[in-house]
């Protein structure tokens, strides 16, 4: 602005409604590098009056060249020598007018598409633009509005502490000065210009340049005539004078791939899960049943009659809810559903961190899905990926033409395993982008928990890197101290903002205290995946049973470290892909033995300490491993009675798990488990007690195909024992020989137990025995954990 010019503060209300959209169809392409040449010349040399109306000559030049960081200094309403002047710019306009009330005031061409003229006052105004083809349109002027972000927003963001960042950045439908429109804001420090482009401006970066808000790196513009449903991107003019066209990092919706534009959306959804959320806030997930069904929405069920299309969020809701209820799953865990360009990544290479994938519908459709789950008593966990992101040109990579979201040094910013980029957690704004994103899914979509992917890759600076390929921290170590700080902050924010929600770490190393409270020096996760248990257990179960006697210690070893963390036992998607085979295919023996081994494995999983997670399709016992491009093999239940029987087994196992607090109430406390016998390698039989609430159960596993009649088992109490569950029951496809037996324990000590009984053990079977209804005796400390090497 010139010394004698000030920007007026608009007042009053506009007269009428915004007009239509610009003529022409969006090209979907950037407008190209600005030429700096105006679109036409004024007739003759401009006089002094016109020059004064046009404002500062240097600022005008930067505007026309596409390098003006604050176009509001030129455009909009200004006080010039005691008079009010309106300036508007459109590269294709041939005539312009300002309208106050019912009166139109002509604006004179200053140069190119820049017009200026006087109006009688500082009241709100509209502009009318005329074009060479005879068309015209009338609209509110974006450059008459004050910024939509406040100083507090910018301050919190700069410090990495803005917990509701999605309410400051992105595309937000709102009302300014009584006018409806969309507030656009993006973080892009160090560039020469940012414009919002879309189907509302012919994708022309000259039409809607944004203003830089101080030194924050944030650019902002309120555009009155844009409505929900509009497609848009940001056009950045980099320091290298190159055009960079990017999707909005905080877009709340995006086009379905392979298209890449962001979309403006407004949620109209009305939630009905208030009772569920109130109860959740009072629930401790550590002492509640937690049985998770991991789901890839795109391949759980498809519609073959319609070209094998995937189901929408709304179509999936009733089917998945009924399925989870049948098998007793407490939670669904969704593989990543933030927008991602490559379906084959399963969602683990995210391009739109704030946008639910459009493959299954609109954001409000996802809200409906979660809401329906909650009303049915089913929780929903989101697989969240803060570890890395893809290099696609339209997304976060080199966002400003230079590294912004990723670390600039490839030894810190590039992931060699996945050919992806790694977030620079040392930048407060990047940390804030991710931390606020975690809260966004929990608050805006009511997810119950986040399963955080690839935690180990974030914790170690030398993860999957050769010597010399990584940079030590300031202490010379391989610990990523910025990631440690990030996780601690995440696990402070979540319980503070979302009571009852929890976090789960997919962490595969021996990093200590992952689930220890942040206040006590830990990372603060609620649970950690027990990858050691998974690897050891599957290794033993792959073996021919004759060899298991030599490796019994590998099966029981996990109890040595069981209480070092709070664990979830995963049999996840990672175990049934990349030529690893399905769980059924991993099991040894003929078809009958494969199913018997699988029933035994799951019985062990559901009855030992820790929560459990199963990947979808486990209930079908398929031969083939998972294929993300096709539906699960639902026909197997109809085609094979043995697999239908296996489904009944899993259904009953889930019911038993739910009904008995001893199987989940003290999962993470030594009082909840005690070995009876873990070193009987000769018979390859293990037994243990589960204690919780006012009950205890006894579990006996026969890991061989040899039936064992009259096998003596140590028991905690005398009297009759019922067979609560038999994995070898005839209804489950088993032999059924042990289900109806009568078991009476006498006071004959055995295996450090005061009582014992002769029990018929089924082949490759698990029995859950229920003692007579008496209070459990106090456990000695020596009973808590006994293991073999």
Return the active site residues: 453, 506
Q: How far apart are CA 178 and CA 175, in angstroms?
A: 6
Q: How far apart are CA 337 and CA 453, in angstroms?
A: 13
Euclidean distance between CA atoms 732 and 747, whole angstroms: 33
Question: Residue 714: which H helix or E strand, with range?
Answer: strand 708-715
**Cis bond upstream, residue 258 (ω within 30):** yes
Burial of 170 (0-12, 13-18, 19+ CB in 10 A): buried
Q: Are 167 and 131 in contact, with CB atoms under 8 Å apart?
A: no
Is the distance from CB of 725 to CB of 706 less than 8 angstroms? no
Where do we find the tokens 């020989």? Answer: 737
Edge-to-edge strand order for the sheet containing 218-223? Answer: 170-176, 179-187, 218-223, 211-212
Strand 331-334, strand 379-384: pairing: parallel
Q: Name the residue with tokens 């820049």.
A: 114
Q: Is 49 exposed, middle or buried (0-12, 13-18, 19+ CB in 10 A)?
A: exposed
Which positions ≥6 away from 590 have C-beta within 8 Å? none
In the 3-class helix/strand/coil scheme, how is 534-562 assigned residue by residue? HHHHHHHHHCCHHHHCCCHHHHHHHHHCH
Assign residue 341 a region: left if phi > 0, alpha if psi is -120 to 50, beta otherwise? alpha
DSSP state of 623: S
Beta-strand runs (E) in 741-787: 743-745, 755-761, 765-770
* Phi-psi domain of 434 (left: phi exceeds 0; alpha: psi -120 through 50; beta: other): alpha
Report the SS3 class of residue 181: strand
């Amino acid at each position: 602005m010139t010394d004698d010019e000030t920007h007026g503060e608009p007042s009053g209300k506009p007269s009428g409604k915004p007009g239509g959209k610009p003529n022409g169809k969006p090209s979907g392409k950037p407008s190209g590098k600005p030429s700096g040449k105006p679109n036409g010349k004024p007739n003759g040399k401009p006089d002094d009056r016109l020059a004064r109306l046009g404002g500062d000559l240097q600022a005008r030049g930067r505007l026309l060249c596409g390098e003006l960081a604050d176009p509001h200094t030129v455009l909009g309403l200004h006080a010039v020598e005691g008079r009010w002047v309106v300036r508007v710019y459109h590269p294709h306009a041939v005539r312009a007018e300002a309208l106050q009330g019912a009166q139109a005031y002509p604006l004179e061409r200053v140069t190119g598409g820049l017009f200026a003229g006087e109006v009688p006052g500082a009241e709100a105004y509209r502009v009318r633009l005329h074009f060479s083809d005879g068309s015209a349109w009338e609209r509110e002027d974006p450059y008459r509005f004050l910024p939509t972000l406040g100083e507090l927003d910018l301050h919190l963001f700069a410090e990495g502490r803005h917990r509701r960042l999605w309410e400051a950045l992105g595309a937000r439908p709102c009302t300014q000065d009584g006018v409806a429109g969309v507030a656009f804001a993006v973080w892009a420090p160090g560039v020469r210009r940012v414009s919002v482009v879309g189907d509302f401006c012919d994708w022309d970066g000259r039409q809607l340049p944004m203003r830089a808000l101080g030194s924050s790196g944030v650019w902002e513009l309120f555009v009155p005539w844009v409505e929900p449903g509009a497609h848009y991107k940001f056009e950045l003019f980099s320091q290298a004078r190159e055009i960079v066209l990017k999707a909005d990092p905080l877009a709340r919706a995006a086009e379905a791939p392979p298209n890449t534009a962001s979309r403006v959306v407004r949620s109209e959804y009305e939630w009905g899960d208030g009772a569920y959320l109130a109860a959740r806030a009072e629930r401790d997930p550590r002492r509640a049943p937690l049985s998770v069904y991991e789901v890839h929405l795109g391949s759980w069920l498809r519609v073959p009659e319609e070209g094998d299309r995937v189901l929408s969020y709304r179509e999936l809701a009733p089917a998945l809810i009924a399925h989870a209820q049948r098998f007793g799953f407490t939670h669904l865990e969704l593989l990543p559903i933030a927008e991602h360009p490559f379906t084959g990544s399963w969602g683990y290479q995210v391009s739109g961190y704030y946008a639910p994938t459009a493959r299954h519908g609109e954001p409000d459709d996802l809200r409906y899905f979660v809401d329906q789950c909650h009303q049915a008593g089913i929780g929903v966990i989101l697989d969240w990926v803060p570890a890395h992101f893809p290099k696609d040109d339209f997304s976060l990579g080199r966002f400003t033409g230079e590294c912004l979201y990723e670390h600039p040094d490839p030894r810190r910013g590039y992931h060699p395993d996945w050919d992806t980029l790694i977030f620079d957690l040392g930048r407060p704004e990047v940390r804030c982008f991710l931390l606020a994103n975690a809260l966004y899914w929990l608050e805006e979509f009511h997810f119950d928990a986040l399963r955080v992917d690839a935690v180990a890759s974030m914790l170690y600076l030398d993860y999957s890197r050769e010597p010399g390929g990584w940079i030590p921290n300031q202490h010379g170590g391989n610990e990523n101290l910025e990631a440690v700080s990030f996780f601690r902050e995440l696990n402070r924010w979540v319980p503070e903002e979302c009571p009852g929600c929890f976090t789960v770490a997919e962490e595969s190393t021996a990093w200590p205290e992952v689930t220890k409270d942040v206040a006590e020096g830990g990372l603060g996760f609620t649970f950690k995946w027990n990858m050691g248990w998974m690897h050891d257990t599957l290794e033993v179960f792959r073996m021919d049973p004759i060899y298991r006697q030599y490796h019994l210690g590998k099966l029981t070893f996990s109890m040595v470290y069981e209480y070092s963390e709070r664990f979830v036992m995963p049999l996840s998607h990672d175990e049934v892909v990349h030529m690893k085979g399905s769980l059924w295919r991993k099991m040894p023996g003929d078809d009958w033995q494969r199913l018997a081994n699988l029933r035994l494995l799951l019985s062990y999983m559901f009855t030992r300490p820790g929560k459990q997670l199963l990947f979808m399709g486990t209930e079908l016992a398929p031969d083939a491993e998972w294929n993300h491009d096709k539906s699960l093999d639902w026909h197997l239940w109809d085609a094979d009675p043995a697999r239908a029987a296996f489904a009944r087994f899993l259904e009953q196992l889930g019911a038993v798990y739910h009904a008995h607090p001893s199987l989940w109430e003290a999962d993470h406390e030594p009082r909840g488990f005690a070995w009876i016998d873990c070193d009987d390698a000769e018979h390859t039989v293990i037994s243990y007690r589960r204690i919780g609430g006012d009950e205890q159960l006894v579990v006996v596993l026969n890991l061989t195909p040899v039936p064992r009649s009259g096998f003596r088992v140590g028991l905690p109490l005398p009297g009759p024992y019922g067979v609560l569950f038999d994995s070898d029951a005839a209804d489950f496809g088993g032999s059924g020989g042990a289900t109806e037996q009568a078991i009476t324990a006498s006071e004959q000590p055995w295996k450090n137990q005061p009582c014992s009984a002769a029990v018929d053990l089924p082949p490759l079977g698990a029995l859950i025995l229920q003692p007579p209804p008496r209070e459990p005796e106090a456990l000695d400390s020596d009973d808590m954990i006994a293991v073999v090497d």
